[in-house]
């Protein structure tokens, strides 16, 4: 039995390494929301564009890209400058903005928080403090609490920033962290942050990743929640303890492009 288990994990690593290599390439960028932060060169613009694209990342990828592009167009495609220098009248441009349940009220609070934050901080990286923790659980919880720390925030906006404290799998914010943290030289993830290590990341879990992961026996828990995302990542660490989330490319690619 032990030999069979060992053989299974060895074969699985070979298979998923090949699939990760297949999809973790620059050609992946064009039709994926990660293309949004790739449009920018300034660190702060990359962070802001990445956060917006990740938060809006549900539904068809083409629609996500269009809606994120629309959001940034309204900031004259200079999001950091807009956050620091806009006037109240400039916010009228967001009237009528909507993507699924994300609307102009949410957009205006995102701008309010990010404007407040960047006037005191050089980088959004400062909002995610992982320290020596095993994973980014506390960093995500801390960011959520910071995000909603202003004197006023719309209660409806809470659903757009997930937190492990509510048992959420935090798919979108984990994807954002993957973009910002991983720096494998492959050209897809941007890797501009240094205080969180790739080994601390948690695999983003959407429906496609979940389906493939269950088929490959990487998940046993029935609900899709934070503990399930942690379970998946721990199993991926058996394949690569230093960079488990690289297999997000393999699981996502198998689910979306190969209907595995």
pLDDT at 232: 98
Mean pLDDT of 99-104: 96
CA 215 to chain centre: 23
pLDDT at 139: 97
Residue 101 burial by Cβ neighbours in a 10 Å radius (0-12, 13-18, 19+): exposed
pLDDT at 259: 87
Query: Could you read off the pLDDT of 67-99 as tens digits, one per residue?
Result: 999 999 999 999 999 999 999 999 999 999 999
**Domain containing 47: what range?**
2-256
| Pair 37, 46: CB distance under 8 Å | yes
pLDDT at 167: 96
Say how many C-beta atoms besides its own lie within 10 A of residue 68's C-beta: 25
Total domains in the chain come to 1
pLDDT band at 6; cut points 50, 70, 90: confident
Tell me the pLDDT of the chain averaged across its residues: 96
Say yes or no to pLDDT of 216 above 60: yes
pLDDT at 95: 97
C-alpha closest to that of 162 among 187, 136, 124, 186: 136
pLDDT at 1: 36
Instruction: Report the percentage of the chain scoring pLDDT > 70.
Output: 99
Residues 127-142: b if buried by 16+ CB within 10 A, e if exposed: bbebeeeebbbbbbeb
pLDDT at 2: 47
pLDDT band at 4; cut points 50, 70, 90: confident
pLDDT at 5: 79
Query: Could you read off the pLDDT of 195-211 as tens digits, one per residue?
Result: 999 999 999 999 999 99
pTM score, whole prediction: 0.96
Residues with Cβ < 8 Å from 9, sequence gap 6 or more? 238, 239
| Rounded distance between C-alpha atoms, residue 33 and residue 63, angstroms | 9
Q: Integer distance in angstroms from the first to the last C-alpha of the chain?
A: 26
Say yes or no to pLDDT of 155 above 80: yes
Mean pLDDT of 142-158: 96
| Rounded distance between C-alpha atoms, residue 3 and residue 89, angstroms | 68
Mean pLDDT of 16-42: 98
pLDDT at 75: 98
Tokens of 82: 């807009």
C-alpha closest to that of 18 among 247, 252, 210: 247
């Amino acid at each position: 039995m032990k030999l069979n288990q060992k053989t299974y994990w060895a074969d699985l690593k070979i298979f998923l390494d090949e699939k990760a290599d297949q999809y973790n390439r620059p050609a992946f960028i064009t039709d994926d929301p990660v293309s949004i932060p790739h449009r920018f060169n300034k660190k702060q613009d990359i962070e802001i564009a990445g956060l917006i694209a990740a938060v809006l990342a549900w539904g068809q990828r083409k629609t996500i890209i269009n809606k994120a592009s629309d959001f940034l167009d309204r900031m004259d495609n200079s999001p950091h400058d807009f956050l620091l220098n806009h006037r109240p009248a400039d916010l009228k441009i967001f009237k009528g903005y909507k993507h699924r349940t994300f609307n102009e009220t949410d957009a205006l609070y995102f701008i309010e928080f990010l404007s407040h934050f960047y006037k005191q901080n050089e980088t959004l990286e400062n909002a995610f403090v992982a320290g020596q923790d095993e994973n980014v659980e506390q960093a995500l919880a801390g960011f959520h609490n910071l995000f909603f720390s202003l004197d006023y925030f719309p209660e409806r906006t809470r659903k757009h920033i997930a937190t492990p404290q509510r048992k959420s799998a935090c798919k979108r914010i984990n994807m954002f962290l993957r973009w910002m943290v991983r720096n494998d030289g492959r050209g897809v993830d941007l890797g501009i942050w240094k205080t969180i290590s790739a080994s601390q990341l948690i695999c983003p879990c959407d429906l496609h990743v979940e389906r493939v992961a269950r088929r490959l026996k990487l998940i046993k828990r029935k609900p899709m929640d934070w503990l399930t995302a942690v379970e998946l990542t721990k199993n991926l660490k058996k394949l690569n303890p230093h960079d488990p989330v690289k297999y997000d490319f393999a699981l996502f690619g198998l689910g979306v492009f190969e209907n595995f």
